[in-house]
Each structure stands twice: as C-alpha cells, then as structure tokens.
Structure 1
Amino acid sequence: MTVLSLGGTIFMTADETGSRATPDAANAQVAASAQALVPGIALTHRAIANVGSPSVRPAHLAAVLEAAREAVRAGARGVVLTHGTDTLEESAYLLNRYWDEDAPLVLTGAMRPANAPGADGPANLRDAVRAAASDAVRGLGVLVAFDGALHLADRVTKGSSRSVSAFASEPGGPLALVDGAQVQLLRRPVSPRPVPLGADLPESLPRVPVIALGLGDDGELLDQIAPGAIAGLVVIGSGMGHVSAPAVPRLAALTEAGVPVVVATRIPRGGTSTHHYDYPGSEVDLIARGCTMAGLLRPAQARLLLQAALAAGGGSGAAAAAFAPFAS
C-alpha cells in the first residue's frame, strides 16, 4: 500500500496555546506511525508536497496521479493521499476526472493538528488505508475517508470548518462505514463511473473565474472583463439557476464571443433545472442565450469540470457535453 502526502493539518503542529497550526516536516512520522495501526498491510510513504491545501495546484495533483498509477502498476492494492481539508473535496473531484484504475485512490486528512489532544489524523489515515485495501470499493474511483465514513468523490462536501466530522455526502449520505478492519458498504452507486477525461491531468488549467450574482447584482463586473481574458465562466445564481434580467445580456455577450458560461446555484440541494421557469433570467432563458446549467454540480465542481473539459479541447460544445450527465 502506498501513502502519498500533500500536507495539510494532518502534518501540522499547533503552538503552545493550541492554535496557529503550521506545516511541520517532522510530522511525516504520522504516515510512518500508521503502520502500527494496520497490521498485515505493508505501507510505503512518499511526500509530494507539504503545503496548506489552498496552495495545492493542478501540478501537485498531476504528480499524485503519476505516483499513484506507478504504485498500482507495481502491485499496490490501493493508494492513500493525505491532503488539507480546505480544498480536499475539490482535489477529490478533479482527480476522479482522470483516475482510470480499479484500485481505490482514497483521500483523507485531519481537522486537528498532529500534536492536538484528540488528534483525528491517525484514525482517519488508518481508515483510509483500510478502505484502499478493501475489495468492496474496487472500481468506484476516488474516495474520501473521514471520521469513520467513506464518501464518493463526486458527492462529498465539507460541511463544517471546525468539526472533526467535517465531511458529508450530498445527496444520499456516505458510501460506506469503516469500522476497524471492516469496510461496510451502505449502498452502491446507481450511475456508472464517469469516463476519464484523459490520461493526464494538465499541470495548469484554463482560467475560469466564479462570480456570484445575488440580490441587486446585475453582473456589472462582467463589463470589465477584456475579450480573451478568461476561458470560461461559472455563475452562482439563485434558485434553480436564475439571475436578474439585466444580467442576461452580459452573459449572452460572453457566449456569443465563444466563452462557455455555466450557471450553478447557491442552494446546497436540488441543483439547477432546465425546464421549470421561463422568464428573463430564468434557466430556460439562459439556456436559450447559450449558457449551460451545472445541474447537480456545486459551483466549485462546475468550475473544475469546465476547466478540465476545456483543457481536453473541443471548445464550448465539448464543455456543454461534459455537463450533460449532471443535468436535472
């Protein structure tokens, strides 16, 4: 079993007050100490980086994919990646667009530094190793192990910035529970595993900003975007993917210029629609103006999918096709 690490709280140390956690190279022993927690599973550890997760870049994840594939093809039953929790759900989602092995790739991390009372890193790492070694989850792609639960990469979301039970799956709850050496499946995915977008994750992705349009906001900021400055745009709308009527011409100008515009919603459940409302700024109106609806994808996922689709080539048409499986 191979454990890869990108850093995060699991490899951080807090000061004497119990706060101000910072990266600590000495805490690589966290991975080494996991061996005692999983007797019978030989572990090897390789550090990719030791950074806070807001500083994780596509190049880091490209290195993770390369190292993980090498490990699996050399005989590893699965691969574990430790990662900071701030962007863990984003990395899991993006990695799942490219992971093409049956062996599990399981992300985990911690909410408490390694030297904190009740540090959750060791237990999470143990559970991730157990999951990565389990035949029960082979072929299910990238997973997240946290606080005794196992989540699908495309469903997991960070629901708390403080609790050790930080992650949840929307909708439907976790995929499995990890109890000691047992991985107990609670359900199996109904949808087939997504087809990988390509063999290699690019070391950089096209520039796709995210803009939220709320009450009284007509998207005036869009007037300041120079032609060619962005490769695509994700809009966080309201309800089922709605914006104000005055914002529509601004979005239409982008789509007419060949810039893909994807509309997501700020609502945590239910996603966007394609057919419920037909008025200026509604989803039906926006689709008619060339926008694509994010469907069940959250804004952060929509951004990553649009970036990956554009990086794969094909322009606006290919980008729209990438979102078709998530439409609702």
Structure 2
Amino acid sequence: MSRRVALLSLGGTINMTQDASGGNARPDDGVGEHLLVAVDGARIDAHPLANVSSSDVRPHHLSAVLASARAAVDEGADGVVLTHGTDTLEETAFLLERYWDREAPLVVTGAMRPASDLGADGPANLRDAVRAATASSARGLGVLVVLDGHAHLADQVTKASSRSVSAFASAPSGPLAIIEQDDLRLLHRPLSRTARLPGSPPDHFPAVPVLAAGLDEDLALLDHIPPEQLAGLVIAGVGMGHVSPAAMPRLRRLLEGGIPVVVASRTWYGGTSTHHYAYPGSEVDLLDAGAVMAGLLPPAKARLLLQTLLADGADPDRIREAFGAFAS
C-alpha cells in the first residue's frame, strides 16, 4: 500500500526559476507540479502555504506549517515534508523542533539551484525528503533536514556554504543518516529530544538582537538602546564565549536590570565553555555576572530558543535549564 506524505511549501530556491541569462531567480508558482514528477512510491498531498524567500519567513508561517502538519498526520499521513528556502532553513527546522509533538517525521528540504538551472538539485532533494518522511527509522526523531542525500537533526544542522550543493553540515556529530530507497541508514544514534514547548510560535517574538564580539568591540551600541526595548540579548562571543573586558559593565547593567543575556560562540565547532578561562570578559566572568552560555547552539539558534522561552513566560531558572540541554 502506498504511503501518504503531506507536502507543505513556503517557497525558496526550490520553487524559483531564472531569467534567460541564468540569474535573477524569482518565485515561480508553476514549479510545484514539475517537482512532483521526481517523487514515486508515495501518495503526495500538496498544500502550498506561501511562496516567499526564506528571509521573508515569519513566525505566523511556521504556525501555519505546524497546524497543517499536525492535521495531516492526525488524518493518516505517514509523514510531512516542508519545502523552504535554504538561507534560514536551519532556523525554521530548529524552531519547528521546539513544537513538533508527533511521532511521524517532519522533514524540511530545499535546493541550492533554481528549478530552471542545469543540474537543479530540488527534485532529488524532494524525493529524498519523501523517503525520509516515510522511513520507519525516522519515526520519533522529530524534525529532520534532508538535502544532498543526507538527513540531519534540526538542532545540529547549519548552512555551511552559500554556494555549494553540499551546503549543509552538522556539528558535533555529523549527518544523522544517508538516505536510501526504503529507509535511512543511520550513521549514529541520536540522544533523546529536548522538551517540547506547547502549541505554536507566537505571531511576533520578543525583541532579542544578536551582537557580535570581536577585536576592539566593546558593545558600545548598548549605550544607545533603551533597556525597555530589549527582551533579551544574544552575544556571538569569540572563542569559547568571550567578550572584551570593556563590554562587561554594559552586560552587567542589562543583567542587573533583569534582561537575560545568552552568550554563544561565533566559531562553528566546540561551542561555549563554563570553566576554561577566568579573565575579565571570559566565560567564568560572564557566568559570575549572570549570563547564560549557549553551549553547542550557534548564535541564530540561541536567539530563537531565548525568544521562544521568553514568549512562553520562562523565568531565569527555566532559561538556564533549557540552554543546559545544549551544554558542551
């Protein structure tokens, strides 16, 4: 018996075509049927939700994805596939993972080349995403990202290249699986999923900017942002999560005013620490001031986690506990 997959679409390069020069890719509503030709062995129920670039995806889009995906699974679908632009695909997958509460897989995919390009990767990625969505070994794993023949966990995947077809990678464990015709070939056994949040994302997240630390960066911009306009702050710290000593008075002022500060690492591998360094501006100094370390989460995902927690009314202890699940 043919398996059922709900195909949701938010757009992105996989749903774009180029002009005659081979550039200037734009959304094209006619791409959808062409993509479905690549999928066989499954009944596809297509539900276009939007056709926008990934930089234009908003929380209300993801609430619509969750509502449609849950309804499809509850009505008998074996899994769900979401097509999405690659620029913010890792963020959408991470955010959906916070809320996805079904055993059936929710698989996010996209393309690096427009549908009209020679060697377009969208059809193969969609085929593989459907295979992952119906794979028995994918059940209970939550939200997966499938591109270039591999499946990745939503919490670990990142876009590592702005151009390559092999654009996505996962740290620290590497891809979860290789896509095969009938199932996934797991490359490692994932840890238990972190706790889910109830419901869906709010239409608007609390204001949580990301500021980057670096050479001669004292975060002086904070002097010009009224604290009441900040719900929280994420720092993309250097090394294991460090800032300039001159930035510490500004961060302490925020923390003493009750504004949560999360410090991630701007480096891809390794994440933040809690004990390696104790000089001014180091992780120990930041922790003593009340900051929270993001562990293995990169700045963009740390921002989303803090926003979802704040939107759910989390107190400082719960925020610290939630980030503790990603400790490195």
Q: TM-score, normalised by structure 2?
A: 0.97
Note the 1:132-151 alignment, pairs <5 A: 132-151=133-152
Equivalent position of 1:185 in the other structure? 186
Structure 1 residue 138: Cα displacement: 0.4
Structure 2 residue 101 is matched with structure 1 residue 100: yes
Alignment of 1:66-215 (within 5 A): 66-189=67-190, 191-215=191-215
Q: CA deviation at 1:194?
A: 1.2
SS of the residue corresponding to residue 196 of structure 1 reads coil
Letter in 2 for 1:21: A
Query: Which of 10, 13, 16 is matched with 2:14 structurally?
Result: 10
Distance 1:232 1:203 in 2: 18
Query: Among 9, 26, 29, which residue is 2:30 paired with?
Result: 26
Aligned-pair CA distance for 1:166:
0.8
Give the partner amino acid of 2:27.
P
- The residue that corresponds to 1:222 in the other structure is 222
Do the aligned partners of 1:263 and 1:292 also contact (CA within 8 Å) in 2? yes
Deviation at 1:184, TM superposition (A): 1.3
RMSD across aligned positions (CA): 1.1
- Paired position in structure 2 for 1:311: 311
CA contact (8 A) 1:3 1:31 kept: no
Could you give the per-residue CA deviations for residues 210-263 of structure 1, whole angstroms, max 9, x where no partner exists? 000110111111111102101000001111111111100100100111100001
List runs of 5+ in structure 2 lacking aligned partners: none
2:271 corresponds in structure 1 to 271
Match of 2:300 in 1: 300
* Kept in 2: contact 1:11–1:24 (CA 8 A): yes
1:246 is the counterpart of 2:246:
yes
- Match in the other structure for 1:42: 43
Deviation at 1:66, TM superposition (A): 0.5
- Secondary structure, in 3 states, of the residue corresponding to 1:235? strand
Q: Secondary structure at the match of 2:228?
A: coil
8 Å CA contact retained: 1:218, 1:244: yes
Do the aligned residues in 1 keep the contact of 2:262 with 2:302 (CA within 8 Å)? yes
* SS of 1:42 mapped into structure 2: strand
Distance 1:226 1:321 in 2: 28
Aligned AA for 2:171? E
Would the aligned equivalents of 1:38 and 1:130 in 2 still touch at CA under 8 Å? no
3-state DSSP class of the match of 1:239? Answer: coil
Take 2:201 and 2:84, find their aligned partners in 1: how far apart are those partners? Answer: 18
Whether the 8 Å CA contact 1:310–1:318 is kept in 2: the answer is no
2:325 partner amino acid: P
Q: CA deviation at 1:31?
A: 4.4
Long gaps (5+) in structure 1: none
Q: Report the 3-state secondary structure (helix = DSSP H, G, I; strand = E; otherwise coil) of the residue aligned with 2:46.
A: strand
3-state SS, counterpart of residue 321 of structure 1:
helix
TM superposition outliers: structure 1 runs of 4+ over 4 Å: none
Question: Which one-letter code corresponds to 1:17 in the other structure?
Answer: S
Q: Residue 259 of structure 2 aligns with which residue?
A: 259
Q: One-letter code of the match for 2:222?
A: L
Tell me, in whole angstroms, the C-alpha distance in 2 between the residues paired with 1:230 and 1:31. Answer: 43
Distance 1:60 1:33 in 2: 26
Counterpart secondary structure, 2:30: helix
Distance in 2 between residues matched to 1:38 and 1:130, nearest whole Å: 9
Amino acid at match of 2:151: L
Matched residue SS, 1:241: coil
Residue 110 of structure 1, CA deviation? 0.5
What is the TM-score normalised by the length of structure 1? 0.97
Shift of 1:205: 1.0
Aligned length: 324
The SS at the match of 1:25 is coil
**3-state SS of paired residue (1:16):** coil
Give the CA deviation at 1:32.
3.4
Q: Deviations over 1:161-210 (max 9, x none)?
A: 11111111111211111133442111111x21111022222222111000
Distance 1:168 1:46 in 2: 28
